[in-house]
Structure 1
Amino acid sequence: MSTLKVTAERLVIHPHHNADALELAQVGLFRAVVAKGAFQTGDHAIYIPEGAVLPEALIEELGLTGKLAGPAHDRVKAVRLRGELSQGIVCRPAELAELDLAEVEPGTDFAERLGITKWVPPIPVHMSGDITPAPELLPWVEVENIKRYPDIFTAGEPVIATEKIHGTACLLTYVVETGEVFVSSKGFGKQHLAIKEAATNLYWRAIVAHKVAVIAAELASSLGATRIGVFGEVYGQGVQDLAYGADASRSEPGYAAFDIAAEIDGEVRWLSPDGTGLPSAPVLYTGPYDEALLIELAGGVETVSGRGTHIREGVVVRSATERYSPVLGGRAIGKFVSDAYLTRKGGTEYE
């Protein structure tokens, strides 16, 4: 899931070809359905992204009572309205009426002021466990949606796109000095907490089955690293709604590494898992950055199982040569998520 920020954005308005009373307000590469005439190109408005949970008063003010996602009908989710994909909410909340949104400092986050929080999915029992402090855990970097930040990459820049797997993120850190292995989920990892080893825990089952800790130790030795972080996706039957062809007879979950962090001489370097002996996310494209091509590539069917058993979640794009992104204030990495994935029925979103 992406970082939650509720910001003031300049709009570009497009016609809605299937509804006379509706239009499309574009923010970045996202488009949200709005009432016709509510906004003009060049106007500034508040953009509330997917994954936001709204307070009851704001829901009522926006006329969205009973129309949002989740048991409490309070969560923003991508939907199709008269055939057009609508991602997020564009509005001018009364709470901010006194502000000239065009003059607001870019990137100012209004989430707290508006009482908006980030949706955190529940943790199933098999993904939870006893936790312990892990200050040496190497944290994973949140991957933002390129549609929200379309200037992460420049046209023609060499990039690599791997398949985004719908599972649950698994973080492992191997500490050379002590030989300790810390395993965590993305949610616990943000708090520098690790999950104690247990045969029933999903993450530890994947780590043991795929010898991730063993390979991490070997990498540390060959690279002269003091810490190795391996970041992967645990997937399969019983993990999320997309199982990649796995069935209940498979005793261990699937696992695919998508990033490695090596701390060498006090500096963290990001490496590809290819060639390490770890199973890794399929590479779908290597070449010049082409926005339209990569958006199309985010759709289609999965390649993880080799059988195309269901829709693809999307793609993760990174620069071919690791670099800093001034747009993100961190690594140049982002994702495109498929429309079919966003609007599927009965989907699960455990972290």
Structure 2
Amino acid sequence: MSTLRVTAESLTIHPHPNADALELAQVGLYRAVVAKGAYRTGDTAVYIPEQSVLPAPLIEELGLTGRLAGGNADRVKAVRLRGELSQGIVCRPRALAGVDLGAAAGDGTDFAELLGITKWVPPVPPTMNGDVESAPELLPWVDIENIARYPDVFAPGEPVVVTEKLHGSACLVTYVAADERVYVSSKGFGAKSLALQEDPRNLYWRAVRGHGVAEAAARIAGRLGAARVGIFGEVYGAGVQDLTYGADGRRDTLGYAVFDVAAEIGGEVRWLSADALLDGELPLVPSLFTGPYDVERVLQLATGRETVSGRDLHLREGVVIRPVVERYSPVTGGRAIAKAVSPAYLTRKGGTEYE
């Protein structure tokens, strides 16, 4: 899940092909449906992204009472309006009437707190929960920003690797070489430096023990002389999320695939290629493309059918993009890594989003 930032953005306005009274306001590569004539190209407005939870007064002010997602009808979700995908909300809240939005767009001011907007936190099912312990040595996963919001993460033509993004639950494993300690966590618990105590009923521990993930991490630590090794994988299947890839998370056939590896070497944490380190040892997420970065090609790859099962069982969630040579990104303020999500995935019915 991306980080939550509610910012002022410069808009590009496009006609809505199926509605005379509506237009499309573009922010980055996102487009949100707006009333015709409300904005012109070059105007600045506030952009509220998907997965934002809005307070009741703001919902009422924007005329969205009863029209948002979630049990409380307060969560922003991608929708199709007259056939066009609308992602996020473009608005000018009264609370910011005295704010110079043009200047705010230039300095990236975040208005989430001022507007009372929070980030939606998915529920945690019992199989993904459990007793936790403090784990300060755990190597946490990072939030991946959407390329549609930050299209300049990669330069055109930059060599990149594009892998399929799986709809499961992230499993974090950290092996500490000094005492051979193994920490297992989820993305949500890992963000709080908490690890799950071992339990044979727990989804993540079942995947780790079933696939020998801790042993693979120990072998990497030995080969690289690393103090810590983190292996980041996706656990998937029926009972995990609504997209199953033909696996069953309730049985021994639960799915597992590695998408990233980190290692602390000489006091520095480095992100390494899972393909180079674990090919043949652990299941890996499918690689779809390696070559020069082109945003249109990436967006095309984000759509279509899944390739994990080899049977095209259902739609694809999207893709993850990384540079061939790991680097820092001034756009994200961290790793140069991003995702692109399929519009069909965003607007599917009955989807689950457990973390």
Range of TM-score over shorter length: over 0.9
Question: C-alpha distance in 2, partners of 1:47/1:66?
Answer: 20
Q: Which residue of 1 aligns with 2:342?
A: 338
- 2:199 is the counterpart of 1:195: no
Q: Which amino acid aligns with 1:9?
A: E
1:307 pairs with one of 300, 311, 331: 311
| Per-residue deviation, 1:273 | 1.4
Q: Which residue of 2 aligns with 1:280?
A: 284
**Superposition pairs of residues 106-121 of structure 1, within 5 angstroms:** 106-121=107-122
- 2:214 is the counterpart of 1:213: yes
Question: C-alpha distance in 2, partners of 1:291/1:103?
Answer: 28
Per-residue CA distance 1:316-337 (angstroms, 9 max, x = gap): 0000110111111111100000
TM-score by length of 1: 0.99
**Superposition pairs of residues 147-296 of structure 1, within 5 angstroms:** 147-247=148-248, 250-275=251-276, 276=278, 277-296=281-300
| Per-residue deviation, 1:274 | 1.5
| Per-residue deviation, 1:106 | 2.5
Q: 1:205·1:252 contact (CA, 8 Å) conserved in 2? A: no
Structure 1 gap segments, 5+ residues each = none
Question: More displaced, 146-155 or 251-260?
Answer: 251-260
Q: Which residue of 1 aligns with 2:14?
A: 14
Q: Which residue of 2 aligns with 1:34?
A: 34
Question: C-alpha distance in 1, partners of 2:324/2:243?
Answer: 29
Question: C-alpha distance in 2, partners of 1:164/1:174?
Answer: 24
Q: Which amino acid aligns with 1:119?
A: W
Aligned-partner SS, 2:107: coil
Question: C-alpha distance in 1, partners of 2:173/2:125?
Answer: 20
State, as a whole percentage, how many aligned pairs show the same letter.
Answer: 69
Q: Which amino acid aligns with 2:125?
A: P
Q: Which amino acid aligns with 1:179?
A: E
Question: C-alpha distance in 2, partners of 1:195/1:89?
Answer: 37
Q: 1:29·1:148 contact (CA, 8 Å) conserved in 2? A: yes
**Superposition pairs of residues 82-97 of structure 1, within 5 angstroms:** 82-97=82-97
Q: 2:306·2:312 contact (CA, 8 Å) conserved in 1? A: yes
Question: More displaced, 96-105 or 185-194?
Answer: 96-105
| Per-residue deviation, 1:247 | 4.5
Aligned-partner SS, 1:58: helix
Q: 1:6·1:47 contact (CA, 8 Å) conserved in 2? A: yes
Q: Which residue of 2 aligns with 1:72?
A: 72
| Per-residue deviation, 1:246 | 2.1
Q: 2:95·2:115 contact (CA, 8 Å) conserved in 1? A: yes
| Per-residue deviation, 1:251 | 2.1
Q: 2:236·2:249 contact (CA, 8 Å) conserved in 1? A: no
Aligned-partner SS, 2:114: helix
Corresponding residue pairs, total: 351
Q: 2:140·2:191 contact (CA, 8 Å) conserved in 1? A: yes
Q: 1:8·1:106 contact (CA, 8 Å) conserved in 2? A: no
Aligned-partner SS, 1:188: helix
Q: Which residue of 2 aligns with 1:130?
A: 131
**Cα gap change, 1:114 to 1:51, in 2 (>3 Å):** same
Q: Which residue of 2 aligns with 1:55?
A: 55
Q: 1:209·1:252 contact (CA, 8 Å) conserved in 2? A: no
Question: C-alpha distance in 2, partners of 1:106/1:20?
Answer: 35
Question: C-alpha distance in 2, partners of 1:281/1:176?
Answer: 26
Q: Which amino acid aligns with 1:210?
A: H
**Cα gap change, 1:249 to 1:187, in 2 (>3 Å):** closer
**Cα gap change, 1:33 to 1:249, in 2 (>3 Å):** closer
Per-residue CA distance 1:190-211 (angstroms, 9 max, x = gap): 0000000000000000000010
| Per-residue deviation, 1:248 | 7.5
| Per-residue deviation, 1:14 | 0.4
- 2:8 is the counterpart of 1:4: no
Aligned-partner SS, 1:274: helix
Question: C-alpha distance in 2, partners of 1:93/1:259?
Answer: 40
Structure 2 gap segments, 5+ residues each = none
| RMSD over aligned Cα atoms | 1.0
